A = this chain, B = another copy of it.
Amino acid sequence: MTGTQIRLNHIFGRDGKSVVVAMDHGLPGMFPLGHLADPASLLDAVAAGGADAILTTPGLARRFAPHIGKLGLIVRLDGGTTPIGDAPRSSSLIATPEDAMRLGADAVAVMGFCGTEDEGRSLATLGKVATECRALELPLMAEMLPLGFGAEPTVEEIALAARIAAEMGVDIVKTKFVGPQEAYRQVTETCFAPVLILGGSERELGQVTDTIGQAVAAGVAGVAMGRSVWRSSDVRGTVGAIVAALHGRAPYTRAENGVAPA
């Protein structure tokens, strides 16, 4: 497990927590892109804000490697649906663990749908990727979405989905946070992999940090958020505030990322 541990060290801080900025929205064709339209300056701001890692695509990682710097790199392996036309929604692998490893990834990410029509195929793909990752000692993040995108799952459904991912051997579970925080402990206590909560649609910073506070109290290990970051007018400030809320320290001080205190 040495390789797995070394790579997870690039994603999680010494406190076991992680702020991941999701920058993978261009792959499924999400518009408007906000600061994501200019990945180079966005990456600089994300690093300056003290984020631990980014979740992005093979193409973006490959093109903007110099701007990724010391940020942990999680590469998304699945995609396939666009908002153009009326094509039936579908998802498929567009890269492989071996490919991501070659690109320098510290981890890879795939979706895990439960309770949707596509559940069987989705979990089979998750299992296959998990198996390949184990062979490479490459950590795997599963984005577990009970009932699919946009659904409002119960905390029990989230707990089930998170545990299933852990049983398959994923190293990080990304899933939805739902209150109240006491109830959410059943998610973090039965899932034996760290849970990062997703951001979902764009929200105000106050709401975001408030949610982080509740989530940390419920045993969550971090966040993986995108739109609230790259659609904000002040990316560095937003990331810094999220870092402060999660890691419990003043923003702009991650000297190990080469960022001087503000």
- Chain A residues with a Cβ under 8 A of chain B: 1, 24, 26-29, 31, 33, 37, 39, 57-60, 62-64, 79-96, 98-99, 102-103, 114-120, 123-124, 126-128, 130-131, 134-135, 146-147, 153, 156-157, 159-161, 163-170, 189-190, 192-193
Picked from B58, B63, B92, B131, the residue with its CB within 8 Å of the CB of A192 is B63
Count of chain copies: 5
**Residue in B115, B126, B169, B192 whose beta carbon sits within 8 Å of that of A85 in the complex:** B115
Q: A119 is contacted by which of B81, B120, B123 (Cβ under 8 Å)?
A: B81
List residues of chain B with CB within 8 A of the CB of A88.
Answer: 117, 119-120
Residue of B nearest to A31 (CB): B160
Q: Which residues of B contact A84 (CB under 8 A)?
A: 114-115, 119, 146-147, 153, 157, 160-161
* Closest CB in chain B relative to A11 CB, distance in Å: 17
Q: How far does the alpha carbon of A1 sit from the alpha carbon of B83 in the complex, in Å?
A: 32
**Minimal Cβ-Cβ distance residue in B for A117:** B87
Closest to A112 in B: B82
Q: Smallest CB–CB gap between A119 and chain B, Å?
A: 4
Closest to A118 in B: B87
Q: Please measure, in the bound complex, the distance between the C-alpha atom of A116 and the C-alpha atom of B117, giving whole angstroms.
A: 21
A58-B168, A116-B85, A156-B31 are known contacts. Are A190 and B37 too (CB-CB below 8 A)?
yes
A26-B92 in contact given A31-B156, A119-B87 (Cβ < 8 Å): no
Q: How far is the CA of A160 from the CA of B30 in the complex (A)?
A: 8
Contacts A93-B124, A115-B85, A116-B85 given: A163-B29 contact, CB under 8 Å? yes
Indicate if the CB atoms of B59 and A160 lie closer than 8 Å.
Answer: no
CA distance A168 to B153 in the complex (A): 31
Let me know if A115 and B135 touch, CB within 8 A: no
Q: Find chain B residues with CB under 8 A from A62 CB.
A: 1, 134, 169
Determine the chain B residues whose CB is within 8 A of the CB of A96 once the complex forms: 131
* Chain B proximity of A116: nearest CB distance (Å): 6
Shortest Cβ distance from A30 into chain B, in angstroms?
A: 9
Given contacts A114-B87, A115-B86, contact A59 B26 (CB under 8 A): no
- A29-B160, A192-B60 as given contacts; A168 in contact with B87, CB under 8 Å: no
A31: B residues at CB distance < 8 A:
156, 159-160
- Report chain B residues within 8 Å CB of A124: 80, 90, 92-94
Closest-CB distance, A15 to chain B (whole angstroms) = 20
CB-based contact A168/B131 at 8 Å: no
